[in-house]
Amino acid sequence: MSSVLQVTKDNFEAEVLKSDKPVLVDFYADWCGPCKSLAPTIDEIAGERADELKVVKIDVDADPEIAAKYGVRSMPTLVVFKEGTAVSGVSGALPKSDLNAFIDDALTKDPAEIARQMEETGKKIVNAIFDKALELGLVTDEDAADKGEALDTLFKTAMMTGALTQDDLQNTGGDPIAVLEAIAAKKNGPANDAENDADLDGGKPSPNTPSAKLKDSFDDAIGNAREKLHDAADALSHVADGLKNPDVQEKLKKDVKGAVETGKAVGKMATQAAKDKMKKFFGGRKR
Q: What is the pTM of this model?
A: 0.50
Q: Find all residues with CB under 8 Å of 55, minimum gap 6, and list them.
A: 3, 4, 5, 23, 24, 26, 42, 45, 46, 49
Domain boundaries, the chain: 5-109, 119-236, 255-287
Q: Are 205 and 198 in contact (CB under 8 A)?
A: yes
CA angle 48, 54, 56 (to 5 degrees): 105
Lowest mean pLDDT among 5-14, 102-111, 274-283: 274-283
More confident residue, 149 or 192: 149
Q: Are 151 and 127 in contact (CB under 8 A)?
A: no
Q: Which residues are catalytic?
A: 32, 35
Sort 60 into a burial class: Cβ within 10 Å, 0-12 / 13-18 / 19+: buried
Q: Which CATH number fits domain 5-109: 3.20.20.140, 3.10.20.30, 3.40.50.2300, 3.40.30.10?
A: 3.40.30.10
Written as one letter, the residue type at 147 is K
Sort 163 into a burial class: Cβ within 10 Å, 0-12 / 13-18 / 19+: buried
pLDDT at 85 over 80: yes
Mind listing the pLDDT tens digit for each residue in 258-270?
A: 566 665 565 566 5
Mind listing the pLDDT tens digit for each residue in 161-186?
A: 888 888 888 888 778 888 899 888 88
More confident residue, 237 or 159: 159
What mean pLDDT is predicted for residues 31-52? Answer: 95
What mean pLDDT is predicted for residues 204-226? Answer: 57
